[in-house]
């Protein structure tokens, strides 16, 4: 029988040590009674609504772990850093963590672009990096020290295409995408999967980072006679796009990637979000997620979203690896922690079962639809 650990079971008894500075012999942290992780993400800036959920989940795990004895009796310490969604900042933060001999693992970042920029630094230093949300296939190709919580986007693209062609029954599909590493790959992979199923992508066009006027793109969508739209973008530009699309009188079915499961998308898009269908790994109404959902609600007064769940699982898995080393009486170095994370049995967390194969899991996803201003299961 496969061994699985629940989210809350994984907290009890967790504790962490520290690794070494890059290119120097590894050693255990000077403070033997603590374990230290770095945790970075866009706590401010254009992805702040996601990054704030990241930080909240990290702080929740930190509080719960230390309240139940830390990691194998050691107090968990987390150095939170804001990269503002900027790959240059994420690189600087990675260098800071690498230079701190007590940091044995890094959690972050949100975008694939920032995660991969930092990943080059962590790979050279042989420090394990667990990204809660980096889904670009190239992220885990950097080195064996990169791990991720979601599927890669080539896997997710299959569900995107299934949604558009088979569930929404659209054939002539427009595909707006965000102009970053993640958005470009999602668009390419989803287009290929749509075409495999007999659909046609009649327009694929980038949303630049600062763009807030999509009327020219919408005019092209109308002229191309699209009968469906799939949005591979983040919540803020997607909300503006949906408002302008509906204002233009275009009422075709719209599907979206998992960043559109976000309360900020509903707030910004308003009534224009009605009917949109998107993917997710986590839905708080799922009874199997009750322990994490209730703990988060008790601390923050609202339900967690998918990004909080991913961040919680990411730090929990790093802590599980550290606990395994300490329980075995082995030194907690960066390289040893990487091997321990890789060797973990299937981990039952808030976003489903995580079992790494070359740093990547394969998880089922759920479809949600916006009805009456809220997300509901799509059936």
pLDDT band at 210 (very low <50, low <70, confident <90, very high): confident
Domain extent listing, the chain = 31-150+288-354, 153-280
Predicted confidence (pLDDT) per residue in 119-171, tens digit: 999 999 999 999 999 988 899 999 999 999 998 888 889 999 999 999 999 99
Q: Tell me, what's the pLDDT at 153?
A: 82
Answer whether residue 205 shows pLDDT above 90: yes
Q: Does domain 31-150+288-354 have CATH number 3.40.50.2300?
A: yes
- Per the prediction, the chain carries an average pLDDT of 90
In the predicted model, what is the mean pLDDT of residues 13-17? 39
CA distance 151 to 158: 11
Between residues 27 and 342, which one has the greater pLDDT? 342
Length of the chain in residues, anyone?
Answer: 379
Answer whether residue 220 shows pLDDT above 60: yes
Give which of 371, 153, 174 is closest to 259, Cα–Cα. Answer: 153
C-beta neighbour count of 353 within 10 angstroms? 15
Q: Tell me, what's the pLDDT at 76?
A: 98
Predicted confidence (pLDDT) per residue in 281-301, tens digit: 998 988 888 889 999 999 999
CA distance 111 to 99: 23
Q: Tell me, what's the pLDDT at 32?
A: 60
Number of H helices, E strands in the chain: 12, 14
Q: Tell me, what's the pLDDT at 12?
A: 45
Indicate the pTM of the whole model: 0.77
One fold for both 31-150+288-354 and 153-280?
yes
Q: Which CATH class is domain 153-280?
A: alpha beta
Asked, as a colleague might, if the bond just before 176 is cis with ω within 30 of 0, I would say: no
pLDDT band at 8 (very low <50, low <70, confident <90, very high): very low
DSSP 344: P
Exposure string over 232-267, b if 16+ CB within 10 A, otherwise e: bbbbbbbbbbbbbbbeeebebbbbbbbbbbbebbbe
């Amino acid at each position: 029988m496969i061994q699985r650990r629940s989210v809350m079971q994984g907290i009890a008894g967790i504790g962490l040590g520290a690794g070494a500075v890059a290119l120097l012999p590894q050693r255990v942290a000077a403070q033997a009674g603590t374990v230290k992780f770095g945790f970075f993400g866009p706590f401010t800036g254009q992805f702040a609504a996601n990054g704030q959920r990241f930080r909240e989940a990290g702080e929740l795990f930190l509080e719960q772990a230390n309240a139940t004895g830390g990691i194998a009796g050691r107090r968990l310490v987390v150095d939170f850093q804001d990269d503002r969604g900027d790959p240059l900042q994420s690189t600087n933060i990675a260098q800071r963590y690498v230079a701190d001999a007590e940091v044995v693992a890094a959690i972050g970042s949100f975008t694939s672009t920032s995660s991969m920029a930092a990943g080059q630094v962590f790979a050279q230093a042989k420090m394990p990096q667990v990204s809660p949300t980096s889904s670009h296939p190239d992220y885990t190709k950097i080195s064996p020290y990169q791990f991720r919580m979601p599927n890669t986007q080539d896997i997710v693209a299959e569900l995107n295409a299934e949604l558009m062609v088979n569930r929404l029954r659209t054939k002539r599909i427009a595909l707006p995408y965000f102009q970053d590493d993640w958005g470009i790959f999602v668009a390419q992979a989803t287009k290929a999967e749509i075409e495999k199923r007999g659909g046609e992508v009649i327009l694929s066009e980038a949303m630049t980072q600062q763009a807030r006027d999509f009327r020219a793109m919408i005019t092209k969508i109308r002229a191309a006679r699209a009968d469906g739209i799939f949005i591979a973008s983040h919540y803020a530009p997607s909300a503006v796009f949906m408002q302008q699309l509906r204002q233009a009188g275009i009422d075709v079915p719209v599907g979206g990637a998992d960043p559109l499961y976000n309360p900020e998308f509903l707030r910004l898009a308003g009534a224009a979000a009605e009917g949109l269908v998107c993917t997710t790994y986590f839905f708080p109404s799922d009874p199997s997620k009750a322990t994490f959902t209730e703990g988060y609600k008790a601390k923050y007064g609202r339900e967690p979203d998918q990004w909080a769940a991913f961040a919680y699982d990411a730090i929990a898995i790093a802590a599980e690896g550290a606990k395994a080393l300490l329980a075995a009486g082995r030194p907690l170095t960066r390289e040893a922690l990487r091997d321990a994370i890789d060797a973990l049995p299937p981990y039952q967390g808030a976003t489903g079962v995580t079992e790494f194969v070359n740093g990547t899991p394969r998880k089922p996803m759920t479809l949600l639809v916006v009805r009456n201003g809220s997300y509901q299961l799509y059936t």
